[in-house]
Amino acid sequence: MTDFTPLSLGLADVCRRAGQFIRQEAAAFDRSRVETKGKHDLVSYVDQETERRLVAGLRELLPEAGFITEEGTTGGSSQATSAGTDYTWIIDPLDGTTNFVHGLPCYCVSVALLHHGELAAGVVYEVTRDETFRAVRGGGAFCNEQPIRVSDAATLGESLIATGFPYTQFGRLDEYLQVLGAFMQRTHGVRRVGSAAADLAWVAAGRFEGFFEFNLNSYDVAAGILLVREAGGRVTQFLEDGDPLFGRQVVASNGLVHEQMQQTIGEFWR
């Protein structure tokens, strides 16, 4: 197996530099330069410039790789890869844009590397806390280069759960609210941070026991999925073990409460 550790360390440096740019821009952000893709779906010049900087840095790291990007700055669509088949970078330059625009923590740079279709390395850099979460396939997960591990809580009653609210496709809102209500009653509580990348990183670090959300894109979750798995957790779709990377729905947990989470979701989600 290829050792992706050196590449992941370079990736972490690229993500931190991008995060420094975001932090600088946050100090004097101009909300008049925000574009609206939908009522709840914002994009700023900071997203776009950060993505350009990430792409440039990643091309230096691995010139042969293709890209899946949220803002499409590589010239293709946000869901398609540009040239490159063995290696593909999956980039979310600013996960938590709405938080950023409103001056709220938290927001993240999230980048993962696919090698022959498998997640090989990933970094989530949480800008406001200056935390770098890094994972390598088969090599573990780290926060600021200290090893991290999922929590050892064994029941939902001991768990703090994270989720995200839908911002498009509200047709399943009733089902989602029923699931949310069940988790509110069966756990220590439910938190909505506003960044799926942070939610997954914090499951990996043992701060949350679980996370669930639907209507997600690959760039929202790619790095976080690898972080959770390398920290000893489990990531699937809502009701089955299908591919959560491109499956548009994610359940992540410490592994111990995973089936309880799926059972709770399955009571209402069809």
| Residue (of 145, 120, 132) closest to 17 by Cα position | 132
Q: Cα(29)–Cα(48) distance, rounded to whole angstroms?
A: 14
| Residue 118 is labelled as binding a ligand | no
Burial of 191 (0-12, 13-18, 19+ CB in 10 A): middle
Let me know: does 159 contact 210? Beta carbons within 8 Å: yes
Instruction: Using the Cα atoms of residue 187, residue 150, residue 242 and residue 221 in order, give the sign of their dihedral.
Output: positive
* 70 marked as part of a ligand binding site: yes
How far apart CA 105 and CA 219 sit, in angstroms, is 20
Angle at 10 between CA 133 and CA 112, to 5 degrees: 55
Q: φ, ψ for residue 50 (rounded to 5)?
A: -60, -40
Cα separations in angstroms, 46 against 41, 166, 243: 14, 23, 31
Three-class secondary structure of residue 177 per DSSP = helix
Is 174 annotated among the ligand-binding residues? Answer: no
Q: Which residues contact 107 (CB under 8 A, 6 or more apart)?
A: 22, 94, 95, 96, 97, 99, 100, 126, 127, 128, 194, 195, 198
Angle between helices 5-26 and 45-61 in degrees, nearest 10: 160
The answer to whether 245 is annotated as binding is no
Per the annotation, does 25 bind a ligand? no
- Which residues belong to the annotated binding site? 70, 92, 94-95, 220
- Which residues belong to the annotated binding site for Mg(2+)? 70, 92, 94-95, 220
